[in-house]
A and B are shown apart, each in its own frame.
Chain A
């Protein structure tokens, strides 16, 4: 993250700079044992999600009442639920909705939050004041409560879960981005670019954005696991994805009612959720350690 040393004529495009930053991130990340362990877990879940139709032994919504609430067996490795649906198959398909919601909502919240933060940080003055007061107000609502309120307005369903979570992530992203922009803006190379009459758009894309990529990445990494936790929480509360969809939160909620007869109904999807969250947390922590100059090189 140095000031750009390349001459303007041979300057790389913003896209090249972004890929270069991501490449460097990967290089640093590879040396983190924690990140690699977490990444492996996450990768397994991604494989399970992508190849769910091939891996799942049964259809996730195939009901078979004669086989209802069977314990784990050779035919049903994780047992069956109260509708006789195969839990293993539903766990595989559940990984799909969990990961999709997690990454999509963070990506959406990131794009809007970064835009707001950039605008506030670069414009300054009244725009900044107004935007940041709105962000302050948004941040006064706890994420889950805010997502619940959005679900009340938007209605249930997966797309609305993504939208509700993304909206509740805008505030945190905007705040960190603004703080980072303020720091970068004060550095001499930005002033130099201004003096050289580099257009505002160029300054933002080429000089400001690349320098705040790592804090944004760190935060995005942390948010994905929070998003998945919140999404499954919403489903658990009955305010998220709607029933026939295989979703871990829904499965745990259903299993709660049969806890004394069929503990595997809640236990299995819960274990899947916990494992994925551990993987994501390790990955995010590794990412932070790799990118944060304070801990960089510490290969614990």
Chain B
């Protein structure tokens, strides 16, 4: 017995190492693509940095200084080394350090928006899905599928405009733009983020409700549910404790898988409500052709993507004891 458990431990250790190596490889490809993006972008970085008036000598000097005379592979290694250290260069437009601008200023805004939207979606979506599953073909079931269809059809940028029209213009309840950090001023911040979070969350509500409904329907047929009922446990406990516990896995999977959709929505939502997040940063950087900032943006989103996938992978064991390794 001791022998097998030891072997199991080694196997899982190797598997983790394999997953880590795989991730490192993806990171390498991602960084390569980002570097290639910078190389392919039109315009001469030296000419942009020097401005309109410069001499041949100063051009050649900066050219060498930037290492542009070296082979690509060396330039890539050099760039990667600086990137890892957080030296991402200066923005030409805002004259600000790009790492500071992207990671310290824009990223928290996007993460706050995403977290708040997810919260809205979970709080609305899970109960809706549960009611839809327990009372099939009722009005709640109909509502859940309507929300799912609508959520897919109303892109964030349109839904945002509609909500602005309804809640800021017609009713005057919420502001239509501007960002106040809820970490500094909780009430004003949440008030400003209410509509954006609703906009971005709406898309997820349908998805979460659909997944909750279909997985719960499957779970309801399992023998342990009948057993729980036979033990005389109250109905709500059977559903919410025994049932939901088993719905969490597919739910986490879908939430993780749809992160791309979340980021897509976040970019559009930020622009609709002029929130100074990553989406806004990348959008204006593409417009002003600031490739260094665009590159920083795509790198961060890709890293975020990879990180969430890893976290989702790790949560499985937490949620389902059957998958836990000894």
- What is the interface of chain A mostly: helix, strand, loop, or mixed? helix
**B305: chain A residues within 8 A (beta carbon):** 140-142
Answer whether residue A263 sits at the interface, using C-beta atoms and an 8 A cutoff. Answer: yes
Complex A-B: 15 CB contacts under 8 Å: A140-B302, A142-B260, A142-B264, A143-B260, A144-B264, A146-B298, A148-B267, A152-B291, A155-B42, A230-B264, A232-B155, A238-B287, A274-B150, A278-B152, A281-B149
Given contacts A148-B286, A281-B149, contact A137 B267 (CB under 8 A): no
Given contacts A144-B264, A145-B298, contact A229 B155 (CB under 8 A): yes
Q: Do A148 and B283 touch (CB < 8 A)?
A: yes
Q: Do A149 and B298 touch (CB < 8 A)?
A: yes
Q: Which residues of B from 1 to 32 have beta carbons under 8 Å from A?
A: 22, 25-26, 28-30, 32
Q: Do A141 and B33 touch (CB < 8 A)?
A: yes
Interchain nearest-CB distance for B267 vs A (Å): 6
The answer for the CA separation of A124 and B25 in the assembled complex, in Å, is: 19
Partner of A273, one of B150, B155, B263: B155
Answer whether residue B157 sits at the interface, using C-beta atoms and an 8 A cutoff. Answer: yes
Q: Do B268 and A141 touch (CB < 8 A)?
A: no
Answer whether residue B297 sits at the interface, using C-beta atoms and an 8 A cutoff. Answer: yes
Answer whether residue B76 sits at the interface, using C-beta atoms and an 8 A cutoff. Answer: no
Q: Do A140 and B306 touch (CB < 8 A)?
A: yes
Answer whether residue B259 sits at the interface, using C-beta atoms and an 8 A cutoff. Answer: yes
Q: Do A233 and B272 touch (CB < 8 A)?
A: no
Q: Which residues of A from 119 to 144 have beta carbons under 8 Å from B?
A: 133-134, 136-138, 140-144
Q: How large is the interface on B (under 10, 10 to 19, 20 to 34, 35 or more residues)?
A: 35 or more
- What is the interface of chain B mostly: helix, strand, loop, or mixed? helix
The answer for the CA separation of A270 and B306 in the assembled complex, in Å, is: 33
Which of A179-187, A196-204, A253-261 lies at the interface with chain B? A253-261
Q: How many residues of A contact B (CB 8 A)?
A: 45
**B287: chain A residues within 8 A (beta carbon):** 238-239
**A239: chain B residues within 8 A (beta carbon):** 283, 286-287
Interface residues of B (CB under 8 A from A): 22, 25-26, 28-30, 32-33, 37, 40-42, 149-150, 152-155, 157-158, 161-162, 164-165, 169, 176, 259-260, 263-264, 267-268, 271-272, 282-283, 285-287, 289, 291, 294-295, 297-298, 301-302, 305-306
Q: Do B153 and A142 touch (CB < 8 A)?
A: no
**B37: chain A residues within 8 A (beta carbon):** 149, 153
Q: Do B289 and A152 touch (CB < 8 A)?
A: yes
**A93: chain B residues within 8 A (beta carbon):** none
